[in-house]
Structure formats: C-alpha cells, structure tokens
Amino acid sequence: MNVMIFSALAEPHRLAIIELLSEGPLQVGNIAERLELSQPQASKHLRVLTSVGLVQVQPVANKRIYKLRPQPLQELETWLETFRRSWDEKFDNPETYLHQLQTAENNKDHSK
C-alpha cells in the first residue's frame, strides 16, 4: 500500500474536498466557496489530490470541473479487506497470542 493517498487525506481541507466531491463534480470556485477556502488554496489542494490520483479534472470552457476517481479509494478498500482476514483469524484467539509470545521468545539473540 502506498503512503501517498494517506498523506493526501491527512489534511483536513483536502479530506473535506473529497467528501464534498462524493456528492458530485464541482468547479474550483464552488469548492472554495463551500469550504470557505481562498481560491488559491483550493487550487493548491486540488493539485495535490490530482497528483495522487484521487481526483480528476475536466475542462469546460474556462472552468475546470473536478471529480473523484474511484480507483485509489477502491484500492484502499481492498487493502483493508486483507486486515479483516487478520481479525477473523487471530483476534481474541488465545492460542494465537501464545504463539506470538513464543515467537518473540525464539527471536532472542542466540549469538552471544
């Protein structure tokens, strides 16, 4: 899993942009207005979101319509599914926990 998507979403305004765009495409001015951002700030954040592929531009006249790109969030969902497997297998399973403790014990330094 790549870290870029997380750092892109780690900024409150960018996360708000993503959630706003989940309702549908918007042009820069509307995004800035709705989130009470300056226009340059909105553009800068949209640039970051575009660079990591979370967002996509579509020029219409002298406007630029931004919309979400499903792929990265879908990949994130896939990544999370691999964790669900871990929950089901290992969590609240005393035997597994014991095994981990023994593993830690076996990893001790035997070279001295």
Partner DNA sequence: GGAGAATATTCCCGTCAAGGAATATTCACA
Partner DNA sequence: TGTGAATATTCCTTGACGGGAATATTCTCC
Residues lying near DNA in the complex (CB under 7 A) are found at 7, 10-14, 27-29, 38-48, 57, 59, 61-64, 108-109
**Shortest Cβ distance from residue 104 to its own copies (Å)?**
5
Select the residue interacting with its own copies from 40, 47, 70, 102 (CB under 8 A): 70
The tokens of 94 are what? 């005393």
Torsion of CA 17, 22, 23, 26, to 10 degrees: 50
d(CA 43, CA 66): 10
- List Cβ neighbours of 25 (8 Å cut-off, separation of 6 or more): 58, 65, 66, 67
Residues that bind its own copies (CB under 8 A): 1, 3, 6-7, 9-12, 15, 19, 22-27, 30, 33, 60, 63, 65, 68, 70, 73, 76-77, 80, 82-84, 86-87, 90-91, 96-97, 99-101, 103-104, 107
